[in-house]
Structure 1
Amino acid sequence: MSLLDHLPADWRDATLVGRIATAAGPTPVVISHGRVRDVSRVAPTVADLLNQWSARVPAGEDLGPLEQLPLAPAYDKPGQATRLLAPVDLQCVKACGVTFAVSAVERVIEERARGDYAKAQSIRDALGERVGADIRSVKPGSPTAVRLKEALIADGLWSQYLEVAIGPDAEVFTKSPVLSSVGWGDWIGVRKESQWNNPEPEIVLACDSNGRTLGATLGNDVNLRDIEGRSALLLGKAKDNNASCAIGPFIRMFDSTFGIDDVRKAVVSLTVHGEDGYKLEGSSSMSLISRDPLELVEQTLSQHQYPDGFALFLGTMFAPTDDRDVAGRGFTHKVGDVVRVSSPALGTLENKLTTSDQAPPWSTGISHLMRNLASRGLLASRST
């Protein structure tokens, strides 16, 4: 597998921002016209780089053509000195949930099944036609949404998940701690006790400290359906685990070749290949999202300030229901699954599944990064 096969088709015309692990330490890079530039002397972190981003790409140190960098998947070559990291560092990683109608229905099913996958299909059959057909055409927070809520309450079908699907307030939560996200080619983890889980292929927006939406990348917001289904108060346990957040391969910066309108009409595809020969395919069309991506950015900014910027998962409509092994059980991951999240303008994010306790431990925190940057003389070199 080559990283080049997982880049946007027009990657030589795109401006890409990322991070690579080197023998010296994590290094922000910009790929422009196919060449890699180490910009750490100008911006020691990606957060710094985006906060000072302008139309002019920083010069940096030319590391040569991207195809000449030895960037192999970490799960194939553990311990390699040079590898691709998640393209965010000090940014807060936020996520929006239940932003697609079909996702809302599946969350209601999880809630009513109390995490029991065996009950899911009968509940899905009972709810799908009545709820799903209605909420697809409803604008969240509108008078129509209010009337639908009243009708569903009267039918005994209201749910906290429908509240964020068609109510005025979006669900926005913190997905993972700063610096804990994994990148392209790395292991991704689920809790070993989870028996019902799936990938969540999403587009992730990159925003600076002022809320400017500067670019986009791909993400996998792994979902443990049995744990969250038992109680929404277990969201943290279901969502925030070692190696449970993957982002990459690069942030594609907005320019004349790619912008927010391309995000709005993007199609995000998913494939899962199991070591048992199993294959799952699906896709999400961003045109079906219930809330505009920039509205989700605004709702995120309404919480508080983000001095290092933030990355924002926009949600997914993909909730696999096809049986993998046992009739009525639906889909769940197995160790060794290779998961690919892709979109033509953003490339492909590939990861291999393991359990969170077996994934490489997260060991590089903020204090480690600051000491590393100081030892390399990068903190004193900041121009802003």
Structure 2
Amino acid sequence: MRYYRLPGGEHQSSSESLVVIDDEGDAYDLTSASEDLGSFTELARAANASNQSIDAIARDRISEADQRNLDDIEANALRPVVPDEVWAAGVTYSISEKARKAESGKPEVYIDVYESERPELFLKATPSRTVGPYDSIGVRGDSDWDVPEPELGIVLHRGEVVGYTVGNDVSSRDIEGENPLYLPQAKVYDRCCSVGPCVSTSETVEDPHDLTMSLTIERDEEIAYEDSTSTSEMATSCETLVEYLRRHNTLPETLVLLTGTALVPPETFTLEEGDRVSIDIDNIGRLVNDTVIV
């Protein structure tokens, strides 16, 4: 099943709703059935308390829930979760290792990470720096080479994997390339990350290492860049990334871990204000954002 966060229904007291699209493709407002199910995190808490799966809780409530119009889902979707933290992984695909080498005067740093057992993990964003579908992602005003990085996002609740989403790890390649120690400035700033449009559970995403992922960038209503890949190209598994993230690290209740990118625009490309970035991942959906200078 796929879970969306939407503005509340017209007959609800809550300002937001948790909406599920079930296995038949119908949409139901779970918050209309129970105000205790006002968010994906609250649904995950209910699953923990009852020792049931998230999808089992949802199926139990669908018969009491108001149906929602499918046409309204994508256009009105908010961030599906508001993660306490967003973490990200780097150099998990061979093309990412090559791109980091190309941008950096110290390529051996990235070669070492790609060939190492320990993955690169870093804190990517806080809630205030993370946007949702159709919000604007940001590129730094002091950078001249900026790119989107489409990534599969793992959603964790209390340290356990509960689903998957689409993420965009927007990055300043020239700042990071100048010196790897500038990574936080290249990665963490206003509107540096987007997630959405939904969370798909493990029942829907049966194998996170076998998903087609595509990136399209439009400029002035024309395609400026387009490509696709598969998560099967990952050199580091999702399980390994999660295991290292948990090590000696107290995790917040809900977080998203972005798993790295295999789609890197050419060195001649940089994002500009007004560009529209669309990321599609099988069995999850499409994340769309416009671009602004911040």
Question: Given the two structures, how large is their TM-score scaled by the length of structure 2?
Answer: 0.86
CA pair 217-71 structure 1, distance change in 2 beyond 3 A: closer
In the TM superposition, residue 303 of structure 1 has moved relative to its aligned partner by: 3.9
In the TM superposition, residue 159 of structure 1 has moved relative to its aligned partner by: 1.8
Letter in 1 for 2:6: I
Residues 278-337 of structure 1, C-alpha deviations (whole Å, 9 max, x = no match): 52111222111111111111111114122413211010112211xxxxxxx611111111
Q: 1:302 aligns with which of 243, 247, 254?
A: 247
Contact 1:51/1:309 (CA < 8 Å) preserved in 2? no
Task: State yes or no: 1:173 paired with 2:122.
Answer: yes
Letter in 2 for 1:49: L
Matched residues in 2 for 1:85 and 1:98: separation?
29
Matched residues in 1 for 2:101 and 2:121: separation?
18
Residues 58-113 of structure 1, C-alpha deviations (whole Å, 9 max, x = no match): 327634233253763xxxxxxxxxx321112144211101101111121122221x
CA pair 51-228 structure 1, distance change in 2 beyond 3 A: farther
Letter in 1 for 2:185: K
Letter in 2 for 1:28: L
Residues 108-159 of structure 1, C-alpha deviations (whole Å, 9 max, x = no match): 22221xxxxxxxxxxxxxxxxxxxxxxxxxxxxxxxxxxxxxxxxxxxx862
Higher strand share: 2
In the TM superposition, residue 180 of structure 1 has moved relative to its aligned partner by: 3.6
Q: 2:272 aligns with which of 327, 334, 342?
A: 334
**1:225 alignment counterpart:** 173
Q: 2:205 aligns with which of 258, 276, 293?
A: 258
**2:96 alignment counterpart:** 103
Matched residues in 1 for 2:243 and 2:73: separation?
39
CA pair 29-278 structure 1, distance change in 2 beyond 3 A: closer
Letter in 2 for 1:306: L
**1:48 alignment counterpart:** 42
Matched residues in 1 for 2:218 and 2:126: separation?
28
Q: 3-state SS of the aligned residue for 1:47?
A: helix
Question: Given the two structures, how large is their TM-score scaled by the length of structure 1?
Answer: 0.67
**1:69 alignment counterpart:** 72
Q: 3-state SS of the aligned residue for 1:69?
A: helix
CA pair 223-62 structure 1, distance change in 2 beyond 3 A: same
For the aligned residue pairs, the C-alpha RMSD in angstroms reads 2.3
Contact 2:85/2:252 (CA < 8 Å) preserved in 1? no
4+ long deviations beyond 4 Å:
none
CA pair 266-296 structure 1, distance change in 2 beyond 3 A: same
Task: State yes or no: 1:193 paired with 2:142.
Answer: yes
Q: 2:197 aligns with which of 242, 249, 252?
A: 249
Letter in 2 for 1:305: T
Letter in 1 for 2:35: R
Q: Structure 1 stretches of 5 or more lacking a match?
A: 1-14, 73-82, 113-156, 322-328, 357-384
Matched residues in 2 for 1:228 and 1:51: separation?
38
CA pair 303-98 structure 1, distance change in 2 beyond 3 A: farther
Contact 2:74/2:197 (CA < 8 Å) preserved in 1? no
Answer with 1 or 2: which has the greater Rg: 1
CA pair 306-45 structure 1, distance change in 2 beyond 3 A: farther
Contact 2:164/2:205 (CA < 8 Å) preserved in 1? no
Contact 1:198/1:224 (CA < 8 Å) preserved in 2? yes
**Percent of pairs identical after alignment?**
29
Matched residues in 2 for 1:71 and 1:314: separation?
24
Q: Where do 1:133-144 residues align within 5 Å?
A: none
Task: State yes or no: 1:317 paired with 2:251.
Answer: no
CA pair 215-276 structure 1, distance change in 2 beyond 3 A: closer
Letter in 2 for 1:87: P
**1:30 alignment counterpart:** 20
Matched residues in 1 for 2:113 and 2:245: separation?
14
